[in-house]
C-alpha cells in the first residue's frame, strides 16, 4: 500500500487502522491517510460508496442524483430544480456523474454555465464550493493557507506560559512552552475551496465549481491537474489529503483564452450554446413566471433577432430573463416599440450595440418578434 505522507511528516499508520494517527492518540484521525483507502461507510444504510449504489432509504420514484439511470432522468431532475438543459448538456452531466469526471463548460456569457453547478448542488444535496478564478489566484486563495495571526498568538501565549512557570520556580518552565511545530497542525489550517472539496465531511460529495478558469494564469491551471486527476492535495507540513469520495467538479470558461489541452483531457467537455427559441421561451417561463406567456415568446424572439445582428456583446439567457422581468414590472403584456426602446439597457450593455439596433430600427425588431412569437 503506498505511503502518501509528505517527507518530514510526523504521522504514521497504526496496524489495521485506515487513518494515520497522531503519536499517542488512538482515535483522532488526521489528514495524512493511506493511499487509495476509502473512508468507512457514512451513508444511510451503510452503503460504502454512494456513487455505486442507490442510497438506502431513497425514494425509488426519484433517481438517485449520484447515479441517475439515464439522460432523461438528469434532464427531468435539472428542470425540477429550475434548469432547462438540452440533450447535449444533459448527456454531459449524466456522464460526468456516472464516470466521476470533471465537466468543463465553455460558452458565451450568460448561457447558464455557472448555474449548472448551483442546480447540481441543489439536486444532489452536496455543498456548493465555489472557486472564482482571477488573474494571480494562487494556492493560498484556492487550496489552503496558515492562519499566521493565530499561530503567532499561540506561540506568544505558550512563551508567556513558559516564562510564568519558570518565574514561579518550576524547573520545567521552559518545557511548558509548546514546540513550534505545533502551530503546523490542522487547528491553524485555513481551508480554501479545493481542500474543502477534497477533504469534505459526511453526506453527499460537494459540488466544486471552478468558475471562469480562463481568467486564471497558466500556472494555476497546471496546478489543477494534480488535483483533478488524483483528487488529492498535499500540504507539506501535514501530508496528503485524499478524497474518500471525489467531489463533483464543474469548470467554466468564457474562452477569453484557450484552456490547455492537458486540463481538457482530464475533463468531459461541453460547449454551451445559446438555447433555441422554444427552449429559451421555456427558460423565461420558468425563471420569470410573472411575464405573460405571449410576452415571454415575444421577448425570446426579439433576443433571438438581436443575436443575429453582429453585436459586440450578444445577449445571453440572463439578459432575456432580465428583459422579460423588466417588461412585466412595467405592466406590459406584449412588446411595443416605445417600451423596447427605453428598456434596451436591460439587454444590451454597450452603447455601440444599442446604437446599431436603433439604427436598424426598433419598429422592425418589434414586428419580427411579434410574428415569430405568435
Ligand X SMILES: Nc1ncnc2c1ncn2[C@@H]1O[C@H](COP(=O)(O)OP(=O)(O)OP(=O)(O)O)[C@@H](O)[C@H]1O
Q: Which range touches Mg ion (CB under 5 A), out of 112-120, 184-192, 234-242, 259-267?
A: 112-120
| 253 belongs to the binding site for Mg ion (CB under 5 A) | no
The residue ranges that bind ligand X (CB under 6 A) are 82-85, 107, 109-115, 252, 254, 283, 287, 317-318, 321
- 205 binds, options ligand X, Mg ion, none, Cβ within 5 to 8 A by partner type: none
Q: How far is the CB of 175 from ligand X (least distance, A)?
A: 56
- Compare residues 85 and 245 and give the one whose CB is closer to ligand X: 85
Q: Which does 137 bind (CB under 5 to 8 A by kind): Mg ion, ligand X, none?
A: none
- Give the one residue of 4, 74, 103, 114 binding Mg ion; rule: CB under 5 A: 114
Shorter beta-carbon distance to Mg ion: residue 216 or 233: 216
Of 220 and 323, which CB lies nearer to ligand X in the complex structure? 323
Smallest distance, ligand X to C-beta of residue 2, A? 39
Question: Of the listed pieces 110-118, 129-137, 146-154, 261-269, which binds Mg ion according to CB under 5 A?
Answer: 110-118
Nearer to Mg ion, 92 or 114 (CB): 114
Give the CB-side neighbour count of residue 312, counting CA atoms within 13 A: 9
Task: Compute the distance between CA of residue 233 and CA of residue 259 in angstroms, rounded to an integer.
Answer: 22
In angstroms, give the least distance from the CB of 87 to ligand X: 12
Amino acid at each position: 500500500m503506498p505511503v502518501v505522507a509528505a517527507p518530514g511528516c510526523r504521522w504514521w499508520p497504526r496496524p489495521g487502522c485506515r487513518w494515520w494517527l497522531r503519536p499517542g492518540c488512538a482515535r483522532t484521525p488526521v489528514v495524512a491517510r493511506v493511499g487509495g483507502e476509502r473512508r468507512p461507510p457514512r451513508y444511510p444504510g451503510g452503503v460504502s460508496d454512494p456513487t455505486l449504489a442507490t442510497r438506502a432509504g431513497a425514494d425509488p420514484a426519484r433517481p438517485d442524483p449520484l447515479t441517475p439511470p439515464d439522460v432523461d432522468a438528469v434532464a427531468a431532475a435539472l428542470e425540477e430544480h429550475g434548469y432547462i438543459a438540452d440533450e447535449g448538456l444533459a448527456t454531459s452531466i449524466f456522464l460526468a456523474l456516472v464516470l466521476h469526471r470533471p465537466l468543463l463548460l465553455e460558452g458565451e456569457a450568460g448561457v447558464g454555465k455557472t448555474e449548472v453547478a448551483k442546480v447540481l448542488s441543489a439536486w444532489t444535496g452536496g455543498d456548493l464550493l465555489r472557486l472564482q478564478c482571477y488573474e494571480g489566484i494562487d494556492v493560498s486563495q484556492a487550496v489552503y493557507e496558515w492562519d499566521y495571526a493565530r499561530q503567532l498568538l499561540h506561540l506568544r501565549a505558550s512563551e508567556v506560559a513558559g516564562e510564568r512557570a519558570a518565574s514561579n520556580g518550576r524547573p520545567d518552565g521552559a518545557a511548558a512552552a509548546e514546540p513550534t511545530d505545533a502551530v503546523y497542525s490542522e487547528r491553524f489550517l485555513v481551508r480554501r475551496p479545493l481542500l474543502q472539496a477534497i477533504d469534505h465531511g459526511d453526506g453527499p460529495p460537494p459540488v466544486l465549481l471552478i468558475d471562469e478558469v480562463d481568467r486564471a494564469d497558466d500556472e494555476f491551471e497546471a496546478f489543477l491537474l494534480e488535483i483533478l486527476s488524483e483528487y488529492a492535495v498535499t500540504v507539506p507540513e501535514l501530508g496528503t489529503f485524499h478524497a474518500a469520495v471525489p467531489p463533483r467538479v464543474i469548470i467554466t470558461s468564457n474562452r477569453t483564452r484557450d484552456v490547455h489541452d492537458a486540463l481538457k483531457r482530464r475533463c468531459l467537455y461541453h460547449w454551451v450554446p445559446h438555447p433555441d427559441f422554444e427552449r429559451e421561451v421555456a427558460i423565461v417561463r420558468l425563471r420569470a413566471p410573472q411575464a405573460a406567456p405571449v410576452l415571454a415568446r415575444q421577448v425570446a424572439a426579439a433576443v433571438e433577432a438581436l443575436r443575429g445582428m453582429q453585436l459586440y456583446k450578444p445577449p445571453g439567457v440572463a439578459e432575456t430573463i432580465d428583459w422579460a422581468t423588466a417588461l412585466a414590472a412595467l405592466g406590459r403584456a406584449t412588446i411595443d416599440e416605445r417600451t423596447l426602446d427605453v428598456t434596451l439597457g436591460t439587454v444590451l450593455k454597450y452603447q455601440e450595440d444599442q446604437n446599431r439596433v436603433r439604427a436598424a430600427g426598433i419598429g422592425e425588431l418589434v414586428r419580427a418578434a411579434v410574428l415569430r412569437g405568435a
